[in-house]
Amino acid sequence: MIFIRATSDYDKDRRRTDLMMVNVRTKQLRQLTYGRRGISQPRWSPDGSRIAFIAPDTADERPEPHDQIFVMRLDGGDPKPVTHSEQGIDGFAWSPAGTQFAYIAQDKNPNAKQIEAHLDAFEVGSNDYLHREAAIPSHLWLVSANGGRARRLTSGSWSLATVDPYQTSDISWSADGRMIAVQRFPTPYIGDSLASRIVLIDPASRRLTPLTRNGNMEADPLFAPSGSAIAYARNTNGDAMNGVAVYVTKPGAARSRDVRAAIDRNIVAKTWSGDGRALWLFGEDGARNTIWYVLPGGQYRRVDLGGLSPNVSGNASQKTDALVFAATMANHPSELYLLSSPSSALVRLTNLNGAVSKLQLARMTSVRWKNDGFEEDGVVVLPPSFDSLRKTGRRFPLVLLIHGGPQGASTIGWNSQAQLFASHGYIVFEPNYRGSTNLGDRYQHAIARDTGDGPGRDVMAGIAAVKRAYPIDSGKIAVSGWSYGGFMTSWMIGHYGGWRAAVSGAALNDWFDDYNDAFYVYTDIPFFGGSPWDPRYTAMWRAQSPITYAQRIRTPTLIMGDIGDNNVTITNSFKMYHALKDNGVTVQFVAYPVHGHFPGDPVRSEDVTRRWLAWLDRYLQ
């Protein structure tokens, strides 16, 4: 099994990546690369003799070297680059015979000469206001696994990737090597991405054929390792407000089957079993992350994971039914685990984070409640020594840590931030409001046309449930979150009283900014049913924007965000900052001079948490 070990270098403020291999029988670790930065997407060759991965080409003399495909042999020798794409590589896949790679690369800007002459105006399209150049399509190429001249397979104004955030199609070869499945976006703009479809490409003729007659929302194609079955992801019935389903079909078939219909949970990842007779599906189920083993007919079993919380996805053996995946526990960060079959006992393969066992840690549990006809849940994190302190009659401050998305969920598993906050004596509550992905399509869809009011009632009902279960100091309750968690923070302090403090990170405060300035544009429309500039919907967009209620806010609030955030533009934070400041509310606004939705480097990301916790301590201690 190969994997990437990532560590933080605070002196140089960067993430270090090492390619590692673990023997699943002996658990022996072997480091394969040294000193390389930015390694990603390691892939075994079909015969198991080589490993390919993406990394910056250090021989590239540009200030920021482009990513290329490297191949290393297990019998010795340094990794060798097999591509020299001028634009870099964004994703790749071995052919079934192991003789070539299919890869995705962005096209050259056709106006490069004009841009050099300062004629650099460009058409904006469905993109964000921070973009400084035209969005260029990405397409599919073929190259020998030994390197050499690449051959283009696709071209056109459509794209295999979107820009900011960079969403790149998966590449999947059919078992016989005669077809390649990819996700086709109508343009490289994320604002147009809901119309994505799976297409099949004949590498010999370059002919493209749609996999299905669906008109939208198809993603993540994956051929079975044998036969012609192909699985793909699509929000249930093509409705963006539903959870992600997994459909199985065959090229040329008239229909697809939703193999997780009986599960009714949002699926975040999938992989075929080694024999191609079943799928391993990953997703949230209530307050737990879980894995299901699903047959093409829809019959399934939920894998008994004990206290494990799987991380996103895993890899199945091509020769057996075994699955290897990364997972955390409530009291332990990520390690690798082996599951030999759906009914076998779990085997831990690594102990890279074993030092955590020496720490006194918080205890995580779940809480459930009923509201508006829903069975709802959340995660509660109790301070270390909670039981002994409770016996003294102590009442605890409560900190809400609200997840983003809103298509996300809080589940029981390692959470460094929650552990840190709990260590300061706080009970931490992570509510799964409607729109969350852990309780089925109906719950996830309920946020449509109700982005603030309904979720707000869910959170308040959750707080009441926590108060019934634990001794909470009602005079010391804080609310906080990032992204849609920031939206919920702004919403809660504008609609409910009793908060001692608030931390609002990268908050979507004005839906109009999200539609007009961020990259979402038309992907926001499913939340409301129509454009904010259509008079039938304008009032709804305004009524569901937290900034509309800013004059009601009296809670001391820390606002944070990235200047270069084109996901939730920092204009949202500027508006809320001025609204609170001008109305005499205690407010502090901290911005990071970086691009992205959250600081990605070790130093700044740690600084976010430090400021967040200091604000809570200021008002709750």
Query: Mean of the pLDDT values across residues 456-465?
Result: 98
At 370 the pLDDT is: 97
DSSP states of 71-94: EEETTS---EE----TT---EEEE
- Find the mean pLDDT for residues 505-531: 97
Identify the weakest region by mean pLDDT among 27-36, 140-149, 356-365, 572-581. 27-36
Q: Could you tell me which of 56, 63, 23, 52 has the C-alpha nearest to residue 38?
A: 56
Burial of residue 607 (number of CB atoms within 10 Å: 0-12, 13-18, 19+): middle
Rounded mean pLDDT, 62-89: 90
Contacts with 177 (C-beta within 8 Å, 6 or more apart), sequence order: 95, 96, 97, 203
CA 516 to each of CA 424, 520, 522: distance values in angstroms, whole numbers, following the listed order = 40, 8, 9
For residue 553, give the H/E element and its range: none
Q: Label residue 35 by pLDDT band (50, 70, 90).
A: confident
Largest interatomic CA distance in the chain: 76
Query: Rounded to whole angstroms, how far apart are CA atoms 463 and 429?
Result: 8
| Residue 508 token pair | 């979507």
Mean per-residue pLDDT for 331-349?
94
Comparing C-alpha atoms, which of 110, 69, 268, 96 is closest to residue 175? 96
Indicate if the pLDDT at residue 312 is higher than 80: no
> Domain spanning 360-620: which superfamily?
Alpha/Beta hydrolase fold, catalytic domain (3.40.50.1820)
The residue with greater pLDDT, 512 or 127, is 512
Computed over every residue of the chain, the mean pLDDT equals 95
Question: How many other C-beta atoms can be found within 10 angstroms of the C-beta atom of residue 172?
Answer: 22
Q: What is the CA radius of gyration of the chain?
A: 25
pLDDT beyond 90 at 297: no
Of 449, 361, 458, 359, the C-alpha closest to 400 is 458
User: What does the pLDDT average to over 454-470?
Assistant: 98
Which tokens belong to 70?
A: 């490297």
Task: Give the architecture-level CATH label for domain 107-127+135-258.
Answer: 6 Propeller (2.120)
What order do you get walking across the sheet with 50-56 strand by strand? 40-44, 50-56, 67-73, 80-81
- Model pLDDT for residues 244-294, shown as the tens digit of each residue: 999 999 999 989 999 999 999 999 999 999 889 999 999 999 999 999 999
The fraction of the chain above a pLDDT of 70, given in percent, is: 100
pLDDT at 190: 93
**Segment 445-460 mean pLDDT:** 98
pLDDT of 166: 74
pLDDT in tens, 107-137: 999 998 998 899 999 999 898 999 999 999 9
Residues 590, 596, 602, 607: what is their CA dihedral angle, to the nearest 10 degrees?
Answer: 10
pLDDT at 36: 84
Res 206 pLDDT > 90:
yes
pLDDT of residue 536: 98
pLDDT interval class at 189 (50, 70, 90): very high
Query: How sure is the predictor about 34, in pLDDT bands with cuts at 50, 70 and 90?
Result: confident
| DSSP states of 336-388 | EEEESSTTSPEEE---TTGGGGGS---EEEEEEEEETTEEEEEEEEEPTTHHH
Q: Residue 313: its pLDDT value, please?
A: 78
Look-up of token digits 């012609």: 228
Angle at CA of residue 95, ends 89 and 100, nearest 5°: 60
Please tell me the predicted confidence (pLDDT) of residue 562.
98
H or E segment to which residue 335 belongs? strand 332-339
Looking at per-residue confidence, does 113 or 434 come out higher? 434
Return the structure tokens found at 240. Answer: 């963006």
CA angle 174–51–250, rounded 5-degree value: 10
pLDDT at 346 over 90: yes
Residue 410 to residue 377: CA distance in whole angstroms: 9
Confidence of residue 317 (pLDDT cuts 50, 70, 90): confident
**Residue 146's pLDDT band (cuts 50, 70, 90):** very high
Residues in contact with 584: Cβ distance below 8 Å, sequence separation at least 6, in sequence order = none
Output the CA angle 7-9-10, nearest 5 degrees: 130
Q: What is the mean pLDDT of residues 449-461?
A: 98
Residue 409's pLDDT is: 97
**Is residue 419 pLDDT above 80, yes or no?**
yes
pLDDT, tens digit, 9 for 90 and up, residues 473-503: 999 999 999 999 999 999 999 999 999 999 9
Q: What is the pTM of this model?
A: 0.95
What is the SS3 string spanning 378-446?
A: EEEEECCCHHHHHHCCCCEEEEEEECCCCCCCCCCCCCHHHHHHHHCCCEEEEEECCCCCCCCHHHHHC
List the structure tokens of 325.
């995946």
Q: CA distances (Å), 210 to each of 25, 62, 186, 236, 420, in order?
A: 43, 39, 13, 19, 49
pLDDT for 78 equals 87
Contact 379, 430 (CB under 8 A): yes
pLDDT at 595 over 90: yes
Nearest residue to 304 (alpha-carbon basis) of 270, 264, 265, 344: 344
In this structure, the strands spanning 279-285 and 288-294 are: antiparallel
- Judged against a pLDDT cut of 90, whether residue 82 lies above it is answered with yes
Structure confidence at residue 417 as a pLDDT band (50, 70, 90) = very high
